[in-house]
Amino acid sequence: MSKKLKVLLLMDEVWNDSVYGNNNMTNWFSGFLGAEFASVCCSEGTPQNSCCTKYFQITDKMMFKSLFSKKRAGIILEDKDYSKTDNAEMGSKSGIIGEISKTHMDIFRLVRDLLWLLGRYDKKALIEFIEDFKPDIIFSVRRATVKMLRLERELCQLSGLPIAAFTGDNELEEGVPMISPFSLIRKAMIRRALKKTAPMYSIYYTSSEEQGKIYAKNYGIKTGLLFKCATADFETVHKELSSPIRFLYVGRLYCGRWKTLGAVAEALKKINKDGVKAVLDIYTRDNVTKKQMQKLSDGQNSFIRGAISPDKIKDEYKKSDIVLHVESFDRKNRAVTRHSYSTKVVDCLASGCAVMAIGWEKHSACVELKKDDSAIVVTDIDDLETVINDLVKQPDKILSYAEKSMSDIEKNHSKADIQSRIYNDFLQIIQ
């Protein structure tokens, strides 16, 4: 990496590793010696990371004020001088926007889109921020929304810089049932905005090969695959199993994932009827409902352990045998998460344990893991009991997949390889 790149990062969420423990930005750019970073972020909060010290922050509250006063939206934060930021903007949403968000989610999203379409940026301050940093390229990491697409166009027009973008979501919501008229309006607005913005992209990264092909065909843009990275450590690969065999899930229960975990718990209950052969431990920071507790924590076969800090997860990996990645099988959630290759998948592969992925056969993570044979992939929930029972009877298969999972990190998620690819792509773009 001979030339040091200056990269202007556009992010929806503020870059804070304490709040967002699986932050892709820190994963990609910590130890990235070939670049310097500045960030434009579009939400409340205090930046906190090891990679960046220059920020331009725009919030909902600022955009709202810009409609009714001469005060334009946006403020420069530099050298971790966060004293300029209104403390009220550091908390949760407040006022009209907050009240709408609590009761009418689709209406709130549409109102928010209109706010960011009509609000007025402090272009003078934004130009000052850009000219002071002198970036070579813009890298936008987000789910496409009217808000983010407008800001991408603004930044490109103000700076004259090329732009690369990344999404890890089914942002156009193909196949998602649309019941609310507000969601239909939003979907149409996003598609129109993306079509308008697409010609500006030098490359559009996704974590789904299928999604990349769709975008290349529909928008005529260059696409590429980009995943979270990790370092392969074969010394951590498990060489023996626990008794009973321990399944581990760490993560959220939303988007119907708890129902899939419930199917795992039910399968274990049947397998363990003549003695406990395998158990499931679930760590989640979500508030667990009474119904979920009954399904997921019977005190013998499955247990909900509550929240866990990121630094403690590795300790749990050491005590586990199979790490779970689960997705929903219901129609709506299948479509919502179809193109999402969760950041936790890479954490699971690098854990030293075998990985079991349970989800729809067309889910991007299941497709990739099955293609590389790097995880035990279950795409029919009715097969769960049979698959788990076979693993209990063939423990060597579990140890074999622990080795395969780490090999996948070495082959597809090497930090050195991914950082080199990002650097070379950006260098080619600016040259």
Read off the CATH number of the domain in which 87 is found.
Answer: 3.40.50.2000
Residues 195 and 269 both lie in one domain: no
Residues 327 and 282 both lie in one domain: yes
- Residue 154 is which amino acid? E
Residues 242 and 388 both lie in one domain: yes
Domain that holds residue 241: 234-412
Confidence band, pLDDT 50/70/90 cuts, at residue 80: low
Task: Tell which residue, 304, 317, 245, 307, has the closest CA to residue 275.
Answer: 245
How many structural domains comprise the chain? 2
- Cβ atoms of residues 296 and 258 within 8 Å: yes
Residue 95 has pLDDT above 70, yes or no: no
Q: Compute the distance between CA of residue 292 and CA of residue 263 in angstroms, rounded to an integer.
A: 12
Confidence band, pLDDT 50/70/90 cuts, at residue 233: very high
Q: How many CB atoms lie within 10 A of CB 105?
A: 13
Residues 348 and 421 both lie in one domain: no
Residues 266 and 328 both lie in one domain: yes
Q: Is the peptide bond before 47 cis (omega within 30 degrees of 0)?
A: no
Residues 247 and 122 both lie in one domain: no
- CB neighbour burial string for 176-196, b if at least 16 within 10 angstroms, e if fewer: beeeeebbeebbebbeebbee
Q: Look up the pTM and report it.
A: 0.86
Confidence band, pLDDT 50/70/90 cuts, at residue 116: very high
Residues 277 and 357 both lie in one domain: yes
Residues 46 and 143 both lie in one domain: yes
Residues 381 and 425 both lie in one domain: no
Residues 21 and 147 both lie in one domain: yes
Residue 245 has pLDDT above 50, yes or no: yes
Q: Which residues pair with 78 in a beta bridge?
A: 54
Phi, psi of 275 (to 5 degrees): 135, 145
H/E stretch holding 279 reads strand 278-283
Residues 194 and 312 both lie in one domain: no
pLDDT per position as a tens digit, 19-66: 765 578 999 999 888 899 999 999 988 998 989 989 999 999 999 999
The whole-angstrom distance between residue 259's C-alpha and the CA centroid of its chain comes to: 21
Residues 13 and 107 both lie in one domain: yes
Phi, psi of 136 (to 5 degrees): -100, -30
- Residue 216 is which amino acid? A
